[in-house]
Protein backbone atom coordinates (compact mmCIF):
# COMPACT_ATOMS: atom_id res chain seq x y z
CA UNK A 1 0.00 0.00 0.00
CA UNK A 2 2.71 2.33 1.01
CA UNK A 3 4.73 1.41 -2.02
CA UNK A 4 1.84 2.15 -4.29
CA UNK A 5 1.41 5.67 -2.94
CA UNK A 6 5.07 6.34 -3.32
CA UNK A 7 4.92 5.08 -6.83
CA UNK A 8 2.07 7.38 -7.71
CA UNK A 9 3.92 10.30 -6.25
CA UNK A 10 6.99 9.23 -8.13
CA UNK A 11 4.96 9.21 -11.32
CA UNK A 12 3.66 12.69 -10.52
CA UNK A 13 7.11 13.98 -9.95
CA UNK A 14 8.36 12.57 -13.18
CA UNK A 15 5.42 13.98 -15.01
CA UNK A 16 6.14 17.41 -13.63
CA UNK A 17 9.80 17.16 -14.47
CA UNK A 18 9.01 16.02 -17.99
CA UNK A 19 6.61 18.91 -18.33
CA UNK A 20 9.19 21.40 -17.16
CA UNK A 21 11.74 19.99 -19.56
CA UNK A 22 9.33 20.14 -22.39
CA UNK A 23 8.45 23.72 -21.61
CA UNK A 24 12.10 24.62 -21.58
CA UNK A 25 11.91 25.86 -18.03
CA UNK A 26 14.64 23.47 -16.98
CA UNK A 27 17.42 21.89 -18.93
CA UNK A 28 20.06 19.21 -18.60
CA UNK A 29 22.01 21.13 -16.02
CA UNK A 30 19.22 20.41 -13.56
CA UNK A 31 19.70 16.73 -14.22
CA UNK A 32 23.36 17.12 -13.47
CA UNK A 33 22.41 18.59 -10.15
CA UNK A 34 20.19 15.66 -9.41
CA UNK A 35 23.00 13.30 -10.26
CA UNK A 36 25.12 14.92 -7.58
CA UNK A 37 22.59 14.01 -4.96
CA UNK A 38 23.55 10.82 -3.19
CA UNK A 39 23.71 9.39 0.28
CA UNK A 40 26.48 11.75 1.29
CA UNK A 41 24.40 14.76 0.31
CA UNK A 42 20.79 13.66 0.21
CA UNK A 43 19.33 17.14 -0.05
CA UNK A 44 21.84 18.60 -2.37
CA UNK A 45 19.39 19.80 -4.95
CA UNK A 46 17.04 21.50 -2.55
CA UNK A 47 19.94 23.15 -0.77
CA UNK A 48 21.37 24.56 -3.93
CA UNK A 49 17.98 25.67 -5.17
CA UNK A 50 17.29 27.47 -1.89
CA UNK A 51 20.54 29.32 -2.09
CA UNK A 52 19.55 30.23 -5.60
CA UNK A 53 16.22 31.59 -4.49
CA UNK A 54 17.80 33.73 -1.79
CA UNK A 55 20.36 35.23 -4.06
CA UNK A 56 18.05 35.71 -6.99
CA UNK A 57 15.48 37.55 -4.91
CA UNK A 58 18.15 39.88 -3.65
CA UNK A 59 19.39 40.53 -7.16
CA UNK A 60 15.91 41.09 -8.52
CA UNK A 61 15.20 43.61 -5.77
CA UNK A 62 18.39 45.43 -6.59
CA UNK A 63 17.55 45.49 -10.26
CA UNK A 64 14.12 46.86 -9.68
CA UNK A 65 15.52 49.45 -7.31
CA UNK A 66 18.01 50.59 -9.90
CA UNK A 67 15.47 50.86 -12.67
CA UNK A 68 12.97 52.71 -10.52
CA UNK A 69 15.39 55.56 -9.84
CA UNK A 70 14.43 58.80 -11.45
CA UNK A 71 17.81 59.60 -12.84
CA UNK A 72 18.93 56.19 -13.62
CA UNK A 73 22.12 55.85 -15.57
CA UNK A 74 24.15 53.08 -14.02
CA UNK A 75 23.72 50.40 -16.64
CA UNK A 76 27.04 48.95 -15.71
CA UNK A 77 25.96 48.10 -12.20
CA UNK A 78 22.83 46.56 -13.57
CA UNK A 79 24.99 44.54 -15.89
CA UNK A 80 26.98 43.19 -12.98
CA UNK A 81 23.82 42.09 -11.16
CA UNK A 82 22.53 40.53 -14.32
CA UNK A 83 25.67 38.57 -14.84
CA UNK A 84 25.39 37.18 -11.35
CA UNK A 85 21.81 36.19 -11.92
CA UNK A 86 22.56 34.67 -15.25
CA UNK A 87 25.46 32.72 -13.87
CA UNK A 88 23.47 31.19 -11.07
CA UNK A 89 20.45 30.48 -13.25
CA UNK A 90 22.51 28.60 -15.79
CA UNK A 91 24.25 26.70 -13.02
CA UNK A 92 21.04 25.18 -11.85
CA UNK A 93 19.60 24.74 -15.29
CA UNK A 94 16.92 27.43 -15.28
CA UNK A 95 16.90 27.85 -18.99
CA UNK A 96 14.08 30.27 -19.48
CA UNK A 97 15.31 32.58 -16.76
CA UNK A 98 18.75 32.55 -18.33
CA UNK A 99 17.33 33.43 -21.72
CA UNK A 100 15.41 36.36 -20.34
CA UNK A 101 18.60 37.52 -18.64
CA UNK A 102 20.30 37.45 -21.99
CA UNK A 103 17.62 39.64 -23.51
CA UNK A 104 17.87 41.94 -20.50
CA UNK A 105 21.59 42.24 -20.97
CA UNK A 106 21.15 43.12 -24.63
CA UNK A 107 18.82 45.94 -23.56
CA UNK A 108 21.37 47.25 -21.07
CA UNK A 109 24.06 47.14 -23.73
CA UNK A 110 21.93 49.46 -25.81
CA UNK A 111 21.06 51.63 -22.80
CA UNK A 112 17.45 50.97 -23.59
CA UNK A 113 15.55 51.81 -20.42
CA UNK A 114 12.11 50.79 -21.56
CA UNK A 115 13.54 47.58 -22.92
CA UNK A 116 15.13 46.93 -19.57
CA UNK A 117 11.87 47.53 -17.78
CA UNK A 118 10.08 45.10 -20.03
CA UNK A 119 12.83 42.52 -19.57
CA UNK A 120 12.74 42.96 -15.82
CA UNK A 121 9.02 42.33 -15.74
CA UNK A 122 9.39 39.20 -17.79
CA UNK A 123 12.29 38.10 -15.59
CA UNK A 124 10.25 38.49 -12.47
CA UNK A 125 7.42 36.57 -14.04
CA UNK A 126 9.66 33.72 -15.12
CA UNK A 127 11.37 33.62 -11.78
CA UNK A 128 8.05 33.37 -9.94
CA UNK A 129 6.90 30.61 -12.21
CA UNK A 130 10.10 28.68 -11.71
CA UNK A 131 9.99 29.14 -7.98
CA UNK A 132 6.45 27.85 -7.79
CA UNK A 133 7.13 24.84 -9.88
CA UNK A 134 10.30 23.95 -8.01
CA UNK A 135 8.49 24.30 -4.71
CA UNK A 136 5.84 22.00 -6.04
CA UNK A 137 8.52 19.53 -7.08
CA UNK A 138 10.12 19.53 -3.70
CA UNK A 139 6.77 19.07 -2.00
CA UNK A 140 6.00 15.98 -3.99
CA UNK A 141 9.50 14.80 -3.29
CA UNK A 142 9.11 15.18 0.42
CA UNK A 143 5.78 13.41 0.40
CA UNK A 144 7.19 10.59 -1.63
CA UNK A 145 10.12 10.16 0.67
CA UNK A 146 7.79 10.02 3.60
CA UNK A 147 5.45 7.63 1.81
CA UNK A 148 8.12 5.27 0.56
CA UNK A 149 10.14 5.34 3.68
CA UNK A 150 13.26 4.70 1.66
CA UNK A 151 16.14 6.92 0.94
CA UNK A 152 16.34 8.68 -2.30
CA UNK A 153 18.26 7.04 -5.19
CA UNK A 154 21.21 4.83 -4.64
CA UNK A 155 23.77 6.25 -6.93
CA UNK A 156 26.37 3.55 -7.39
CA UNK A 157 25.15 0.14 -8.55
Partner 1 sequence: MWFKATESCNCIEPQWPADELLVKYQYISDFFIALAYFSIPLELIYFVKKSAVFPYRWVLVQFGAFIVLCGATHLINLWTFAVHTRTVAMVMTAAKVLTAVVSCATALMLVHIIPDLLSVKTRELFLKNKAAELDREMGLIRTQEETGRHVRMLTHEIRSTLDRHTILKTTLIELGRTLALEECALWMPTRTGLELQLAYTLRQQNPVGYTVPIHLPVINQVFSSNRAVKISPNCPVARLRPHTGKYLPGEVVAVRVPLLNLSNFQIYDWPEVSTRSYALMVLMLPSDSARQWHVHELELVEVVADQVAVALSHAAILEESMRARNLLIEQNVALDLARREAETAIHARNDFLAVMNHEMRTPMHAIIALSSLLQETELTVEQRLMVETILKSSNLLATLINDVLDLSRLEDGSLQLETTTFSLHSVFREVLNLIKPVASVKRLSLTLHLASDLPAYAVGDEKRLMQTILNVVGNAVKFSKEGSISITAIVAKPESFKDARIPEFLPVPSDSHFYLRVQVKDSGSGINPQDIPKLFTKFAQSQAVQTKGPAGSGLGLAICRRFVNLMEGHIWIESEGIGKGCTVTFIVKLGIPDRPNESKLAFAPKVPGNHVSTNFGGLKVLVMDDNGVNRSVTKGLLLHLGCDVTTAGSSEECLRIVSPEHRVVFMDVCTGLDGYELAMRIQEKFKKRQDRPLIVALTGNTNKVTKENCMRVGMDGLILKPLSVDKMRGVLSELLEHRVLFEAI
- Closest separation in Å from C-beta 33 to partner 1: 7
Nearest-CA neighbor of 72 among 118, 111, 122? 111
Interface pick for partner 1 out of 62, 91, 99, 143 (rule CB under 8 A): 91
CA distance 60 to 62: 5
Helix (H, G, I), strand (E, B) or coil at 99: helix
**Greatest pairwise CA separation for the chain in angstroms:** 64
- Closest separation in Å from C-beta 84 to partner 1: 6
CA distance 72 to 55: 23
CB–CB of 49/92 below 8 Å?
A: yes
Burial of 113 (0-12, 13-18, 19+ CB in 10 A): middle
Q: Where does this chain touch partner 1 (CB under 8 A) — which range of 12-20, 99-107, 110-118, 123-131? A: 12-20
Give the footprint of partner 1 on residues 102-131 (CB under 8 A).
none
Give the footprint of partner 1 on residues 14-73 (CB under 8 A).
14, 17-18, 21-22, 28-29, 31-36, 38, 40-41, 44, 47-48, 51-52, 54-55
Binding-site ranges for partner 1 (CB under 8 A): 10, 14, 17-18, 21-22, 28-29, 31-36, 38, 40-41, 44, 47-48, 51-52, 54-55, 80, 83-84, 86-88, 90-93, 148, 150, 153-157
Amino acid sequence: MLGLGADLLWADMNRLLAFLFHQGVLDEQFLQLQQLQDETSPNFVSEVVNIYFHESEKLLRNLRGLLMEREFSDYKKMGIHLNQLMGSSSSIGAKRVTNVCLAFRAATDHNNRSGCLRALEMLEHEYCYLKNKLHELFQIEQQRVLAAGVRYPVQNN
